[in-house]
A and B are shown apart, each in its own frame.
Chain A
Amino acid sequence: MENNSKKMLTIVLTEGPYRSQYADIAYEIASSALYKKYRVNIFLYMDATHIPKKEQNPHSFPNVAQKFRKLMKQGAKIRACVRCATARGHSCTQKSYIPGITITSIYELAEWIKKSHRVISLGD
């Protein structure tokens, strides 16, 4: 397998979970990339800041927060936009997210863009 350890992929998500499956698509892409030893960043923007909410209990669908927990265990960095998250009630003090998610400013995305080899956005 070629050495991809230096290449970085950034995924920007803008949609919330369950109503659309972009979070699941992001999971599949990120999983493959991590398996191939890429570095993966996921930036949660706008409604995507609902994705890492803890205590999700979907009846029929796969649990999106669990998927993202798996990604973090495999080395993905996941950040949520502070403006969008706090607007939606997920503030740093609330601790409404699964552990490992950092709430940060949009500047983090700009920094990631600089360092990434590819950037993709997933949303409606």
Chain B
Amino acid sequence: MEELEYTVLDNGSLVNKVIIKNIRPCIATEGKVRVLMELNNPLEEVITSLISKYPPGKVNYVKKKKILTLSIYNRLITLYPSGKVTMNKAIDKEDAVEIITNVMKTINQTYDNLENIQENNKKIDIDPNISVIGPLDIYKCLPQTNCQECGEKTCMAFSMKILSGDKFLDDCLKLQEPWHQDQVECLKNTIGGEMMKIMGWEGY
């Protein structure tokens, strides 16, 4: 099949075009296709920083090869250092392009941040704590009342859903109450403000 090129972002700092290289199977009897795409720039610089842009449960990183897989939008999106991207379960090429545009925005934001961090001379780190944080670490920073207002039976269940990205910190209404500020502080110390935002903390 011929390659199809789409320019999806006008002002993308790193990536703004995507080329669809291959769609398999051609006979999409199951209504879902696998799409191989290529972005207009390699991703090697940003891939490690992208990890901390998504909840840990949604991220799988093969360190040896710098290949990042995201479980988002109900499908698996794999980013390669070369700039190639694959997506399973796409409905068609338009669907694939629409979804990848969102990821490209995050890539560009991360890239912009990289430059800022380099300017301020801060060390870029895959937050080492994130990879070893478990549900217990989140749990100890929750009110632990099992009030079920978040929709989960217990605070432990809620902390597991937070890590997997299936629930957001804002779902915990108790955390929003002013007398639980200690818990919010605890979260900040455990996972950091940035990850709190990614996990859905909007603030008071």
Touch test A–B (CB under 8 Å) = yes
* A106 cross-chain contacts in B, Cβ below 8 A: 25
A35 interface residue (CB < 8 Å to B): no
Complex CA gap A6/B25 in Å reads 32
Q: In chain A, what residue has the closest Cβ to B25?
A: A106
Complex CA gap A83/B29 in Å reads 12
* B124 cross-chain contacts in A, Cβ below 8 A: none
A4 interface residue (CB < 8 Å to B): no
Complex CA gap A82/B29 in Å reads 12
B7 to chain A, nearest CB (A): 33
A 80-124 to B, binary, CB cutoff 8 A, 1 in contact else 0:
001100000000000000000000011100000000000000000
B10 interface residue (CB < 8 Å to A): no
B190 to chain A, nearest CB (A): 43
B2 interface residue (CB < 8 Å to A): no
Q: In chain A, what residue has the closest Cβ to B29?
A: A105
* B25 cross-chain contacts in A, Cβ below 8 A: 105-106
B27 interface residue (CB < 8 Å to A): yes
B55 to chain A, nearest CB (A): 31
* A82 cross-chain contacts in B, Cβ below 8 A: 27
Complex CA gap A107/B28 in Å reads 10
Within B1-35, the residues touching A (CB, 8 Å) are 25, 27, 29-30
Complex CA gap A106/B27 in Å reads 10
A18 to chain B, nearest CB (A): 29
Within A48-87, the residues touching B (CB, 8 Å) are 82-83
* A83 cross-chain contacts in B, Cβ below 8 A: 27
A113 to chain B, nearest CB (A): 15
* A107 cross-chain contacts in B, Cβ below 8 A: 29-30
A69 to chain B, nearest CB (A): 28
Complex CA gap A4/B30 in Å reads 32
* B29 cross-chain contacts in A, Cβ below 8 A: 105, 107
B158 to chain A, nearest CB (A): 35
* B30 cross-chain contacts in A, Cβ below 8 A: 107
A 34-47 to B, binary, CB cutoff 8 A, 1 in contact else 0:
00000000000000
| Residues on A facing B (Cβ under 8 Å) | 82-83, 105-107
By Cβ-Cβ distance, the 3 closest A-B pairs, closest first, are A105-B29, A105-B27, A107-B29
8 contacting pairs across A/B (C-beta < 8 A)? A82-B27, A83-B27, A105-B25, A105-B27, A105-B29, A106-B25, A107-B29, A107-B30
Extra inter-chain contacts (5) besides given A105-B29, A106-B25, A107-B29, CB under 8 Å: A82-B27, A83-B27, A105-B25, A105-B27, A107-B30
